[in-house]
Structure 1
């Protein structure tokens, strides 16, 4: 936007010496002098009085010195302004992705609508699944992420973000390959009698609490072991290590290579969709409005 030699000129004027300016600019004094000579030649002006005692600004140099600082500041503001406009035109959507909350669902629906909304671009941002830290991740929706794809009826999650429902996933049972039930194509609830079923503890998911109520009231032969409110890979590892059952979702059926997920004769499902900020930007609202005109349900 401006002649970069002006930066060198200002530094020389402030230091009063080619040598001192060279130290600050991390170049040689010879390079500093060459840049000043080149600037004076381009402007056809003498900017510096060179004496044995040092340098001083000429009248022309004083004028250029004052205006150059303004030009540099204005140029920086102009670049920032242009960058913001370019970012607005691109309308980048930042999508979080992890092992348990992959962005594939988002990308699949994106490919359905992208031709109609070429002004949007996608940036995929990875995060870690950790039951102790997931709420911190969810709280970053609107800052680090615009969207995270997730299964959600968590009261703690929904306190921190909005939810755009896309469909439902069936609740299934995951069992280790060595387990007696692993060969079954479909399970009856009575098949679970005598087994320990790992599932999230009460208090966060209304759907899971309803399922737990059903099991405790009507099927007390199934022992229930609490897991943290939010799964991470350690929960799947424990299922495999203890040879127990794990309440799972069809979207997680391939998470752990040593587990097989089997459908159950019940009607329990959980919604999945897009988690987005409590105070969404106009770009996010525009994208969600665009989605509403498409049949995106994957039920």
Structure 2
């Protein structure tokens, strides 16, 4: 394998086409430069410089070698720069897992943040159900998860990024669809569709506790794993659902969202593994702390 230093010597000589000036640029003696070029030609196996003319000329092989040598050095410089940026968390990749709820609240903002501050970080987004995200974080399948607070596990750290109220999602044809604001007691006799307890345990628990605190057990007629499925059922049938207020940004022709009096609040958090050593994660967490928890 060729040493990189002779490539630099040869490039300097090819550009100035004079041994004396090239040696001055490289801070070498002219005889030393001549020996390096001769050794390089021996390693390559052919003459690169035509020495028998008044003006130094490159041979056809030398012209070809010069072009390739430039590319090699440029690639090496890029590799060195990329390695430094990766070590500093300015380049690399960041994998983020999220649920449908965060897709309509913080995820668009986080994409803008990372694109603005760290354009060389490749952002990979993976939508999943809440129950799968902690395992993905701990297994290293995602670097960061955005989930309802209270869904974390041992070995994970969390940062609260959003607190929002729940609201009611119902069909436009529902008898109470024209109400400006609803009391939870208004839904006592309505069939609820919820995410299954295993698929979104914390959010489901908040809804159940809220209804019980107001004197009734919600009539849970259907349980689903995916939030999109839940909203589709609200749209096409007589079911109601309680969802974070940010879901209102999801426009569905057949659904209306109604504010809820004394609505319970849910916290959205980002979660990551304590063992994750991805420098890009550290860089992104610094942005989130500045954004959500400034000193």
Superposition TM-score tier, normalisation by shorter sequence: 0.5 to 0.7
Q: Pairwise mapping of residues 109-128 of structure 1 onto structure 2 (< 5 A)? A: 118=117, 121-128=120-127
1:232 is the counterpart of 2:227? yes
Task: Describe the superposition over 1:212-251 as per-residue Cα deviations: whole angstroms up to 9, x where unpaired.
Answer: 14424643374223524x5332222222232210121112
1:94 is the counterpart of 2:94? yes
Structure 1 unaligned regions, length at least 5: 4-38, 45-75
- The aligned residue for residue 197 of structure 1 is 192
1:209 is the counterpart of 2:210? no
- Aligned CA distance change for structure 1 residues 107 and 95 (closer, same or farther; 3 Å): farther
Larger displacement relative to structure 2 (266-275 or 96-105): 96-105
- Superposed CA RMSD in Å reads 4.1
After the TM superposition, which parts of structure 1 deviate over 6 Å for at least 4 consecutive aligned residues?
76-82, 112-115
TM-superposed CA distance for 1:95, in Å, is 4.6
Larger displacement relative to structure 2 (105-114 or 119-128): 105-114
Q: Name the SS of the counterpart of 1:236 in structure 2.
A: helix
1:252 is the counterpart of 2:247? yes
Query: Number of matched residues?
Result: 224
- Aligned CA distance change for structure 1 residues 113 and 234 (closer, same or farther; 3 Å): closer
Task: Describe the superposition over 1:144-188 as per-residue Cα deviations: whole angstroms up to 9, x where unpaired.
Answer: 43323333322xx44574321112121111101221222222111
Q: Name the SS of the counterpart of 1:281 in structure 2.
A: coil
Contact 2:195 2:223 in 1 (8 A): yes
Q: Name the SS of the counterpart of 2:150 in structure 1.
A: coil
Q: Distance in 2 between matches of 1:103 and 1:277?
A: 24
- The aligned residue for residue 41 of structure 1 is 46
Q: Distance in 2 between matches of 1:105 and 1:272?
A: 9
- The aligned residue for residue 285 of structure 2 is 288
Q: Name the SS of the counterpart of 1:253 in structure 2.
A: helix
Task: Describe the superposition over 1:44-77 as per-residue Cα deviations: whole angstroms up to 9, x where unpaired.
Answer: 9xxxxxxxxxxxxxxxxxxxxxxxxxxxxxxx99
Q: Name the SS of the counterpart of 1:139 in structure 2.
A: helix
Contact 2:105 2:246 in 1 (8 A): no
Q: Pairwise mapping of residues 15-54 of structure 1 onto structure 2 (< 5 A)? A: 40-42=45-47
- Aligned CA distance change for structure 1 residues 266 and 158 (closer, same or farther; 3 Å): farther
Structure 2 unaligned regions, length at least 5: 4-43, 50-74
Contact 1:174 1:261 in 2 (8 A): yes
Q: Name the SS of the counterpart of 1:212 in structure 2.
A: helix
- The aligned residue for residue 263 of structure 1 is 259
1:168 is the counterpart of 2:173? no
- The aligned residue for residue 105 of structure 1 is 106
Q: Distance in 1 between matches of 2:272 and 2:190?
A: 38
- Aligned CA distance change for structure 1 residues 140 and 220 (closer, same or farther; 3 Å): closer
Task: Describe the superposition over 1:96-147 as per-residue Cα deviations: whole angstroms up to 9, x where unpaired.
Answer: 36644328625536767988xx56744332324457xx61685157734332
- Aligned CA distance change for structure 1 residues 93 and 215 (closer, same or farther; 3 Å): same
TM-score normalised over the length of structure 2: 0.58
1:188 is the counterpart of 2:191? no
